[in-house]
Amino acid sequence: MSALLELRGLEVEIQGLPILRGVDIEVMPGEILGVVGETGAGKSMTARAVLDLLPAGSAVSFRSCSFGGQDFIPVKARQEARGHRIGFVPQRPRGSLNPVFRVGHQLSDALRRLRGLGRRAAKKEALDLLRSVRITDPERVYRSFPYELSGGMCQRVCIAVALAGEPELIIADEPTTGLDVTIQAEILRLFGDLISEHNTAGMLITHDLGVVADVCDRVAVMYAGRVVNTGTTAEIYREALHPYANRLVSIAASLDSGGAPREIPGRVPNPGDDLASCAFAPRCFRAESDCFEQEPPLVDAEGQLAFCHHPLTSEAVSR
């Protein structure tokens, strides 16, 4: 099966500083890919490059990029896909809804623009979409202003907007940040269910590996502007090849079983910092001199891929 979204060697610079340093990501049809990594790893910028939503002053280049077989390098292709073929669920739902319009108006507007529906048809479809994101009183929500709704309700509306163009892929960037913990799981489950009901694929960006386990089929772990480890969720959780991914998983697992919050010692590098050949080496419990001196090789085991000199499984072989 060929990938729905395939990007290779994505590089982004903002005001001359390297932000993404060769990101490789693929999303297969129907799957949900989790993109994880600490704050600053480049998760949001990866999504924004695909959607052509990078900040002013950014320079972007790809070695290759395709979506549904279409060349996605031309900026026009990415702009035209946004909303239509790729839906986007933002990080701050309330902030991304317009405060001065009722949410029904905003959703109907999206439907008219994306699907060319007339006023009446758009309203009917908007109410259906609100129902499909499990809003039990869609008429009331339709007439509400964003400030009259809870954060969780606003995020349901944003998911409805993302679905409006009948997209083939929905990218959600930390969709539960800032929501009540009890609501977070509900929204993530909803996201997972909608992906399969609407026959699309998903990319779920989060800094929290704990949330990935329930929802995602595969995981891409990012560090300092690169993807360092990919694999099925089951394999990454069982034993991630890359020491960074491995640490993230064990921290998430210990939190899950009631342990105190922990962090990986050291700090995430900033754009423009001098990096070791493996950017994680200064924080890595398995690092040796080669990690500082030579680019880590791509290794492969049990369906995982990682860039690492000293992966955690002895069966890993260099590609």
Ligand X SMILES: Nc1ncnc2c1ncn2[C@@H]1O[C@H](COP(=O)(O)OP(=O)(O)O)[C@@H](O)[C@H]1O
Query: Is residue 43 within the footprint of ligand X (CB under 6 A)?
Result: yes
**Number of residues engaging ligand X in binding (CB under 6 A):** 13
Report the half-sphere exposure of 68 (CA within 13 A, side-chain side): 11
**Is residue 165 a contact residue for ligand X (CB under 6 A)?**
no
- The C-alpha atoms of residue 65 and residue 258 are separated, in whole angstroms, by 42
- 14 binding ligand X? (CB under 6 A): yes
Q: Compute the distance between CA of residue 27 and CA of residue 272 in angstroms, rounded to an integer.
A: 29
Per CB under 6 A, 33 contacts ligand X: no
Instruction: Report in angstroms how near the CB of residue 303 gets to Mg ion at its nearest.
Output: 27
Say whether residue 34 binds ligand X (CB under 6 A): no
Q: How far is the CB of 89 from Mg ion (least distance, A)?
A: 13
289 lies in the site for ligand X, by CB under 6 A: no
User: Cβ distance 220 to 189 under 8 Å?
Assistant: no
Quick check: 55 binds ligand X (CB under 6 A)? yes
Q: Which positions from 213 to 252 touch ligand X by CB under 6 A, shown as an x/- string?
A: ----------------------------------------
Which residue number, 55 or 74, has a Cβ lying nearer to ligand X? Answer: 55
Q: Classify strands 226-232 and 218-223 as parallel, antiparallel or unpaired.
A: antiparallel
Question: Is residue 176 a contact residue for Mg ion (CB under 5 A)?
Answer: no
Question: Does 83 sit near ligand X (CB under 6 A)?
Answer: no
- Contact at 8 Å (CB) between 112 and 142? no
Burial 300-312 (b: 16+ CB within 10 A, else e): bbeebbbbbbbbb
44 binds Mg ion (CB under 5 A): yes
Q: Cβ closer to ligand X: 222 or 291?
A: 222
C-beta of 206 vs 304, nearer to Mg ion: 206
Per-residue tokens: 236 = 């990454």
Q: What distance in Å separates the CA atoms of residue 31 and residue 44, rounded to the nearest whole number?
A: 19
Residue 21's alpha-carbon distances to 10, 43, 57, 75, 271, in angstroms, are 7, 12, 17, 19, 10
Question: Where do contacts with Mg ion occur on this chain (CB under 5 A)?
Answer: 44
